[in-house]
Amino acid sequence: MQGPGADADARAAARALEARYGEDAAVIAVMRAAEHAALGDLEACGHWEEVARLCDEGPSGPLQ
């Protein structure tokens, strides 16, 4: 996902996944990235890869 709101969108999605799935949030994001990759939607795949990265950064990461 590109553009000025892309970073905010990824952060919002990461926060929502963490609120719902806790420590499994990154796994869910990776699964969503894989689904979009399989469909050939590389923009959405990139978005979910960024969400997974944000979820993986842990307690000292940008979501805190």
User: Is the Cβ–Cβ distance between 24 and 61 less than 8 Å?
Assistant: no
Check residue 35 and give its pLDDT. 98
In this structure, is residue 49 part of a structural domain?
yes
pLDDT (tens digit per residue) in 55-64 = 998 655 555 5
Check residue 6 and give its pLDDT. 73
Which candidate, 34, 33, 32, 24, places its Cα nearest to that of 55? Answer: 24
Place of tokens 């970073």: 7
Label residue 47 exposed, middle or buried (CB < 10 Å: 0-12, 13-18, 19+): buried
DSSP 2: -
In this structure, is residue 62 part of a structural domain?
no
In this structure, is residue 1 part of a structural domain?
no
In this structure, is residue 64 part of a structural domain?
no
Check residue 59 and give its pLDDT. 54
Per-residue model confidence as pLDDT tens for the chain (64 residues) = 455 567 899 999 999 999 999 999 999 999 999 999 999 999 999 999 999 999 998 655 555 5
In this structure, is residue 35 part of a structural domain?
yes
Domain membership of residue 20 as a residue range? 6-57
Check residue 1 and give its pLDDT. 45
User: Is the Cβ–Cβ distance between 27 and 12 less than 8 Å?
Assistant: no
Domain count, the chain: 1
